[in-house]
């Protein structure tokens, strides 16, 4: 489907030609929408009548269902609705000089991780490349700071929609001008997708969601572990680090009494060896969800876990949960909306 951000320059040139307009209008349009990141309405170098025609030819993919602000308005979350009714969410995190956008790659997710609100709700459909790019640009329109980073950590499993995610990364880099290293693809460990990303020529950052130091526990939290066990996931991550010369990071949602015990930190450090650039673990307290009884670890427990990782030679960062008051993480807003 053609939407506002689904076309690259050659397709925009065909559209402009079809409308009987001079070719330079396509370059103005492309430059304004993508490189300058301005809304179509604000492209005053294009005559108003043409902008109105373009608005009809290039409809937005999403209507706003809901916008929420938190943390002194430095975190914003949108719940969008596509024409077919699919709902997805996007989060904008603003810092003093720049901003990060967290995008969804699918409406829902088929991976079924037990602690994840998106996984609890199931899979609806893949998003298109235009829908991914639209999330970034519409968040940019609401941000005085330049969007410098994009993380694929919203709804969905990016490496279950790999063609789209690779295409979106290419466009965000080439058309929108975001550094490839500042594009982060987070995966639950879809090994064939990780291999494809290894062969992709842009040095995007890979994050792998681990949540457990052994297969027995990981299977309970992440059903996909039965298909791609920890050893295979870590081997694919090592190959990625080697090929790209980049540090790989790991996400670890800390669940009280389940995966946050000191001996589990030691076991995790023991498995994260042999990574070029070292392994880096982000520790995030679990967000409560309706469908999972686990509780977030308390701060002391997480700090101890981080220390044990460091003692084992693994870099560890304790992440503050931004936007918790608006459920700005992991499919929780949609889960609450009928």
Query: Could you tell me the two tokens for 130?
Result: 């235009």
Query: Binding pattern to ligand SF4, positions 52-91, x when CB under 6 A?
Result: ----------------------------------------
CA distance 10 to 315: 44
Site for ligand SF4 in 163-222 (CB under 6 A): 188, 209
Q: Does 119 bind ligand SF4 (CB under 6 A)?
A: yes
Least CB distance to ligand SF4 at residue 60 (A): 25
Q: Does 113 bind ligand SF4 (CB under 6 A)?
A: yes
Contacts of 110 (CB under 8 A, 6+ apart): 122, 123, 157, 160
Q: Confirm if 165 and 118 have CB atoms less than 8 A apart.
A: no
Least CB distance to ligand SAH at residue 61 (A): 20
Q: Closer CB to ligand SAH, residue 37 or residue 209?
A: 209
Least CB distance to ligand SF4 at residue 4 (A): 26
Least CB distance to ligand SAH at residue 31 (A): 32
CA distance 31 to 18: 19
CA distance 285 to 265: 15
C-alpha pair distances (Å), 263 with each of 254, 257, 259: 14, 12, 10
Q: Does 111 bind ligand SF4 (CB under 6 A)?
A: yes
89 noted as active-site residue = yes
Catalytic-role residue among 89, 124, 131, 251? 89
- What are the residues binding ligand SAH (CB under 6 A)? 115-116, 153, 157, 186-188, 209, 251, 253, 284, 286-287, 289, 330
Q: Could you give the 3-state DSSP secondary structure of residue 280?
A: strand
131 noted as active-site residue = no
Alpha helices in the chain (DSSP H): 9-18, 24-30, 48-57, 117-121, 129-141, 162-174, 191-199, 215-221, 230-244, 262-271, 299-311, 332-336
Catalytic residues: 89, 330
Residues that bind ligand SF4 (CB under 6 A): 109, 111-113, 116, 118-119, 156-157, 188, 209
């Amino acid at each position: 489907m053609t939407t506002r951000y689904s076309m690259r320059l050659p397709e925009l040139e065909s559209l402009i030609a079809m409308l009987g307009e001079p070719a330079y209008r396509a370059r103005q349009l492309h430059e304004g929408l993508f490189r300058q990141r301005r809304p179509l309405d604000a492209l005053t170098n294009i005559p108003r009548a043409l902008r109105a025609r373009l608005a009809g030819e290039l409809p937005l993919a999403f209507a706003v269902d809901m916008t929420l602000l938190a943390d002194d308005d430095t975190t914003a979350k949108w719940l969008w609705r596509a024409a077919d009714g699919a709902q997805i969410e996007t989060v904008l995190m603003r810092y003093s000089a720049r901003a990060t956008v967290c995008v969804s790659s699918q409406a829902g997710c088929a991976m079924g991780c037990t602690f994840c609100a998106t996984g609890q709700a199931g899979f609806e459909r893949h998003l298109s490349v235009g829908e991914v790019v639209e999330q970034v640009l519409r968040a940019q329109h609401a941000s005085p700071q330049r969007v410098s980073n994009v993380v694929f950590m919203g709804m969905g499993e990016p490496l279950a929609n790999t063609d789209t995610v690779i295409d979106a990364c290419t466009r965000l880099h080439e058309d929108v001008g975001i550094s490839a290293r500042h594009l982060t693809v987070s995966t639950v460990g879809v090994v064939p997708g990780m291999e494809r990303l290894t062969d992709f020529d842009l040095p995007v950052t890979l994050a792998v969601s681990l949540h457990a130091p052994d297969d027995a526990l990981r299977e309970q939290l992440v059903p996909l572990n039965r298909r791609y066990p920890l050893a295979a996931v870590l081997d694919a991550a090592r190959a990625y680090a080697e090929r790209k010369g980049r540090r790989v990071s790991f996400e670890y949602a800390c669940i009280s009494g389940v995966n946050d015990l000191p001996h589990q930190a030691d076991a995790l450090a023991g498995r994260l060896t042999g990574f070029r650039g070292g392994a880096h673990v982000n520790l995030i307290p679990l967000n409560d969800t309706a469908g999972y009884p686990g509780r977030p670890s308390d701060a002391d427990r997480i700090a101890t876990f981080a220390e044990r990782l460091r003692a084992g030679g693994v870099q560890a960062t304790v992440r503050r949960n931004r936007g918790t008051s608006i459920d700005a993480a992991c499919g929780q807003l949609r889960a609450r909306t009928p």
